[in-house]
Structure 1
């Protein structure tokens, strides 16, 4: 009988979880000289764009753990991380979990006033900041109710700790909290979500360590915000699978240079797979992809919002993939797009579908649930499941689910029904078992007579049928007893902004929802309100639009 593989050992190790991956890799004999993670910034003198070995990564994490321990940080201490670079985010996440502390990761794009209130609600004992974010917190009243003011730690100083002085790695229990991340903050204040040692690793154990390995070297590039749960999962699954991983600090769109930063990184680093949110693909699809060298990409991985067909088709037209022919294995044009709708609270996508150039299942189809996820579409009035073809509220039972909301038991329990976590999404299931996402429950608008306007589905259909529109946002409001909808259009390059597209847009949406469309004005990117993770803040868009209508009226 042969020696068990590393992945077999990791799957069998019941103590392994999101809080101790580095320690377990060393325990199971992985060479410290193997490449681990590449960052796009220098790390304590180690040059950017050059892989840190597993040993060097552990050394840099141990230095930070020792530095924090000297300043009194230990088991169960919540510490905020409010930084710019993926390196500062991940190295400090790993250092805090080394100590058994609880890192609270904050998206670096969170506005300063929001960050102050967020930190206050967290009631942290300390906050790790860089030069960009220190001014937002310094001098502010950050003490939550009944708590002491947190200490501010400078991320640039922490690599100066002595790795030899790091204490033994904390031994986590499955239910121990290992991270607080936050929602996208589409209504204004992001919600802190707490993940456990087991929940944030459950999908890696269930699927990522058991799926077939590629016959060629795997190089993944993450354009996900490092402070998101998906960023942590991507880091840990790459470490456990011994894949090369590049973590970007700027993801394009609202974070960087309209997607060009992501394309530049692809051309420079030559990844085989790219991780991102839907906003990333929207930004990439707006660029001239044919003029860029993207042949290395085999697959695009999406999580968060469901990706739009119009953007997916642009991406799978580029890249390449290997295929068997009578002449053997050859590489041919075209890539895959794996769509996995998810949320911070879900911990990991519960659904998966893969698009290729030869497939044609769209209209916001999110595929079928993973084996580890139990999904129910519920009627909130009765708590019963709705039949196939009828839209229901998504209820989820999964080992990946977060423990709840940090310091907020009211909303933790409010999102539970009949043993299910209510994701806030609306979907229907077809007779073949495929699920289709139509909207977020807070964005759907009842039209009467059993008819609804589903804003996400409307946007999907506009983009699929209007090739000169690269992105759009549906904003609906009530005028008396009627619903009036404006569809804000962002045009593709070269499209005529003076053309009235209202009729085409109305027809694309169709039915009762289409009949509510009053206008389809062309807007600039600055007119779209985005949250820290790049999601459109429809709540604020509605408020702004109502205010503008009131002023004009």
Structure 2
């Protein structure tokens, strides 16, 4: 049996899903003692940066499952996991799903007060947390018992673990949450089948260059990490999972661990682009894999100028400078990116193009009445896919409000061209109606500003309707060698569409500390808009 046949067997087995990949993989008996999963922190007596084999991973999971079973955790029990280390999220997910329980993974960057309110709404049977998060929850009503500190679970007896729960395709296997940029994060529930649907599709395709040794710079509690984990288990990809996603930390990890591919969110690529990438040892990276929000062209170009990839020439296979960047668009609710496009040295289809839909996606751009729009018309993305989450936990009203004719309304404003390529222009909540059929798209405006000013490392455009007028502020974070005293207002206004440019109030140079971020690194534009409205009200 080969790794290729393992991929085929898992892809063709309808009983395999996100809740049982580990046990299904073990049953095939191949590569049990080869390095597979690496964490950046010590866990359960295992050193940081020392890979776990499949056999060692199974033992660690069974130990935690035994400890949880002894606490009375059983099938269908929602259990919150609130910890800073990626290892605790990954191992707890695997242990809880082995029991048929439902891990509710909570981002450690959510503050204690909001975390407590979020947990109370879940109706969880217990909370697994590390000492720092237990302290953050102190004094807040969480509505669920606090279980023993999460780091103690590894002392369980692996032999005492019950037999793995037998999952059905529709069983809930995880609750993750939205970015929380508009307020309280929404609890999104994924099924055994939905979290594995895209993996099943990928296993039937040739493994892309760069996927043999992947570094995950994704937030550990995110659905994207669970997909990356199960893809690694299914395709025998070595995977290292980072607990934190700062640009400097990711670069250090690349130099230390030497991956062939890196997977992350747009916010991390923006942070990486702030650094002098030519001065870092990134030569092993052949692939940058983006999910969530689509990435900005300037950040993509800086990344693909680094690394190296294998190319076929008349002289045979050679290593050539430059890497590839796979972009797309996804969300927690979508379960996986629904689009993809590959950028490399020489490619030119940018302008917030997210590519074409994956083969497992059925989508359309719709107007306010829910009817499909034609090429070039901007509307909201409505999409259907086996990867879609089941809905929002304990919130059927929001679940049904975001559905239309069997499709999920993503809140993304997009259009498609005549060739079937899709372009993302903004989130619906961040765009502003200007009248006369015109609309200001903040994300597209940021794209234009970044393209016009190479000395700008990142840009945030905030548009607010204040009475009858629309006011726009353009916030610039400069590259390290840029002149902070230079006036960039003229160039910024020239880069924007005429209707948007007319609304600009000020162009400000700011620091990263001035931009409020959500738990996953997304800009909280709703908070920036409220700051403006509060300041305007105070000045009246």
TM-score (norm 2): 0.98
Q: Distance in 1 between matches of 2:488 and 2:414?
A: 29
Which one of the candidate residues 265, 272, 296 is aligned to 2:253? 265
Q: Distance in 1 between matches of 2:360 and 2:260?
A: 27
1:4-43 alpha-carbon deviations (Å, 9 max, x no partner): 8111111111100000011101122224212220111112
1:204-249 alpha-carbon deviations (Å, 9 max, x no partner): 001x202213578811000001100000000000110001111111
Is the counterpart of residue 506 in structure 1 residue 510 in structure 2? no
Deviation (angstroms), 1:328: 1.7
Moved more, 413-422 or 168-177: 413-422
Which one of the candidate residues 370, 373, 392 is aligned to 1:386? 373
Residues 535, 310 of structure 1: alpha-carbon distance in 2 compared, 3 angstrom cutoff: same
What is aligned with 2:175?
180
What is aligned with 2:364?
376
What is aligned with 1:251?
245
Deviation (angstroms), 1:515: 1.8
Which one of the candidate residues 253, 260, 284 is aligned to 1:296? 284
For residues 275-354 of structure 1, the aligned pairs below 5 Å read: 275-354=263-342
Is the counterpart of residue 50 in structure 1 residue 50 in structure 2? yes
Q: Distance in 2 between matches of 1:499 and 1:380?
A: 42
Q: Distance in 1 between matches of 2:337 and 2:46?
A: 34
What is aligned with 1:97?
97
1:113-145 alpha-carbon deviations (Å, 9 max, x no partner): 1101011011101111011111122343211xx
Equivalent residues of 1:125, 1:151 under 8 A apart: no
Residues 349, 546 of structure 1: alpha-carbon distance in 2 compared, 3 angstrom cutoff: same
Give 3-state SS (helix, strand or coil) of 2:429's partner.
coil
Moved more, 437-446 or 491-500: 491-500
Deviation (angstroms), 1:510: 2.0
What is aligned with 1:136?
136
For residues 112-261 of structure 1, the aligned pairs below 5 Å read: 112-143=112-143, 149-206=144-201, 208-213=202-207, 218-252=212-246, 259-261=247-249
For residues 416-427 of structure 1, the aligned pairs below 5 Å read: 416-427=403-414
Residues 419, 518 of structure 1: alpha-carbon distance in 2 compared, 3 angstrom cutoff: same
Q: Distance in 1 between matches of 2:292 and 2:210?
A: 28
What is aligned with 1:256?
none
Moved more, 185-194 or 216-225: 216-225
Moved more, 161-170 or 496-505: 496-505
What is aligned with 1:366?
354
Q: Distance in 2 between matches of 1:269 and 1:138?
A: 37
Residues 193, 214 of structure 1: alpha-carbon distance in 2 compared, 3 angstrom cutoff: closer
Equivalent residues of 1:502, 1:517 under 8 A apart: no
Deviation (angstroms), 1:552: 4.6
Deviation (angstroms), 1:351: 0.2
Q: Distance in 1 between matches of 2:490 and 2:229?
A: 46
Give 3-state SS (helix, strand or coil) of 1:8's partner.
helix
Give 3-state SS (helix, strand or coil) of 1:200's partner.
helix
Give 3-state SS (helix, strand or coil) of 1:201's partner.
helix
Q: Distance in 1 between matches of 2:489 and 2:94?
A: 51
Give 3-state SS (helix, strand or coil) of 1:459's partner.
helix
Equivalent residues of 2:488, 2:507 under 8 A apart: yes
Which one of the candidate residues 470, 477, 481 is aligned to 1:494? 481
Moved more, 2-11 or 520-529: 2-11
Deviation (angstroms), 1:2: 10
Q: Distance in 2 between matches of 1:379 and 1:361?
A: 25
TM-score (norm 1): 0.96
What is aligned with 1:146?
none
Give 3-state SS (helix, strand or coil) of 2:121's partner.
helix
Equivalent residues of 1:64, 1:92 under 8 A apart: yes
Residues 300, 215 of structure 1: alpha-carbon distance in 2 compared, 3 angstrom cutoff: closer
Is the counterpart of residue 545 in structure 1 residue 532 in structure 2? yes
Residues 49, 3 of structure 1: alpha-carbon distance in 2 compared, 3 angstrom cutoff: closer
| RMSD of Structure 2 on Structure 1 (CA) | 1.5
Q: How many residues align?
A: 540
Q: Distance in 1 between matches of 2:487 and 2:31?
A: 63
What is aligned with 1:21?
21
Residues 478, 264 of structure 1: alpha-carbon distance in 2 compared, 3 angstrom cutoff: same
Deviation (angstroms), 1:88: 0.4
Equivalent residues of 2:475, 2:507 under 8 A apart: yes
Equivalent residues of 1:36, 1:51 under 8 A apart: yes
Equivalent residues of 1:318, 1:335 under 8 A apart: yes
Deviation (angstroms), 1:153: 2.6
Give 3-state SS (helix, strand or coil) of 1:260's partner.
helix
Q: Distance in 1 between matches of 2:537 and 2:510?
A: 19
Equivalent residues of 2:373, 2:379 under 8 A apart: yes
The unaligned stretches of length 5 or more in structure 1 are 144-148, 253-258
Equivalent residues of 2:294, 2:354 under 8 A apart: yes
Give 3-state SS (helix, strand or coil) of 1:421's partner.
strand
What is aligned with 2:448?
461
